[in-house]
Amino acid sequence: MVDAAVTRVAREGSGRVIALLAHRFGDVDLADEAVHEALITALEVWPAQGVPEKPAAWLFSVARNGAIDRMRRSASARRRILAAAPELHARGFVTPDPALAFDEDTDAGEEQDMIVDPGSVHDEHLRLVLLCCHPALDRDTQVALTLRLVGGLSTPEIAAAFLIPETTLAQRIVRAKRKIRDARIPLSLPADIDERIEAVLTVLYLIFNEAYLSRGTADAVVRVDLAAEAIRVTRVVQSLLPDAAEVQGLLALELFQHSRTWARTDAHGDLVLLEEQDRSSWDRAQIESANEIVAAALVRMDPGPFQVQALIAAHHANARTAAETDWPGIARLYGQLEAMTGSPIVSLNRAVAVAMADGPRAGLDLIDGLDRRDVSGGSPRLGDYHLLHAARGELLLRADEPAAAVLAFERACALARNPAEKRHLERRLREARTR
């Protein structure tokens, strides 16, 4: 129970706390470390003291006090160094900290303000997203830092989302926080939010994707809390930019996919593929809402990748049975998306759609060679992406080539991270071996 409560406050409250502390102390890294230490403290003291009535306020109070202690220790250490070796200050190696000024009277008010109206432009999560998406940071760093600070994802989870080594991702985050601190990038809404909207949408999309199919070590396939948070912040962005078609496209895409949440696993927590899902359990209210949103976006005649993805999701969500799915239409949309993005993962999805429309061999012909394509920046290869091998295995089975399918599923099992997904692939591997 305590572990679950700590996880919940980490996911739902840590972003707001980091935002408040970063604004208060002018140091994102300090805020992040203070919150991390406070969460560790919660794991130590809550079993004996009980979960606080307001966990987020508790987290803020403990993290704030920890940040103050860190700053005081740092200032004290600098004073001792300056007293012992003043020549270091004269040569610029050590500089004294400015006087620490804390207005303790405002703390209680800040704790009470931990929960903010999601539709407000003052939403702390949005401020933190915009800080992390500052143009001084490159795109990959913007996304990684926001996933870490806003989404509450661990370094391994983010690395899996990027398909890059954990050490590379960790160094990227450290450098980003240092740059924010050194450049004194403010935690505030920019004058023109449009300048950062593409980065913000990319961030929210990756957060939602991590929730939709977690690649961390947790056994759950879907992290409903994180998916709901991605949708919530997307709605905030939409309230700020009501005429932005791509924001509407992303929101519709999230709602279409989230509508299938409870059908994606069975009673044992095992993965259920789309064509086998009980469509009566899909959330029709979310689907209808998404239909309306994507229709409103298309009227604006400003097409973009998220709108195309929403249209693909709409084909799936509105098909009454798997057999009624318009695979030729989906394949055409993936072709448009491939032209827009140049993404090899989109190319993989298009290959699967073509296979469903024109037969497995047509899809396999498109998949051949994809495993040698780069995902981004020259590294890593798509051949290290488990879903490529899973897709190849499925198509090889449909093409009545079980021996080749076994090899593909073995590779997919070796690369998969999510336990439920891994169980599904192992089951398909066993079935391929008996063919």
Which of residues 270 and 335 earns the better pLDDT score? 335
* pLDDT given for residue 236 in this prediction: 79
pTM score, two decimals?
Answer: 0.71
Q: How confident is the model at residue 104 (pLDDT cuts 50, 70, 90)?
A: very low
Q: Write out pLDDT tens, residues 54-76.
A: 998 999 999 999 999 888 877 66
Q: How far is CA 241 from CA 129, 135, 416, in A?
A: 15, 19, 38
Backbone angle region of 109, left / alpha / beta, with phi > 0 → left and psi within -120 to 50 → alpha:
alpha
pLDDT digits (tens, 9 = 90+) for 323-367: 999 999 999 999 999 999 999 999 999 999 999 999 999 999 999
pLDDT at 89: 52
pLDDT of residue 112: 47
Across residues 41-59, what is the average pLDDT?
A: 93
Quick one: which H or E segment has residue 70? helix 55-84
Mean pLDDT to the nearest integer, 289-302: 96
Which residues, in sequence order, are bridge partners of residue 35?
none
Sign of CA dihedral 299, 304, 305, 306: negative
Residue by residue, DSSP assigns 244-265 as -HHHHHHHHHHHHHHTTGGGSB
Q: What are phi and psi of 265, to 5 degrees?
A: -135, 155
Percentage of the chain modeled with pLDDT above 90: 43
pLDDT digits (tens, 9 = 90+) for 1-15: 788 898 788 877 888
Kindly report, residue by residue over 388-402, the tens digit of the pLDDT.
Answer: 999 999 999 999 999
Q: What is the pLDDT, as a whole number, of residue 101?
A: 43
- Choose between 354 and 203: higher pLDDT: 354
Instruction: Please determine, for residue 163, whether its predicted confidence score (pLDDT) is greater than 90.
Output: no
Return the domain boundaries, the chain: 2-93, 123-212
Residue 271, φ and ψ in degrees, nearest 5: -70, 135
> What's the pLDDT score for residue 85?
58
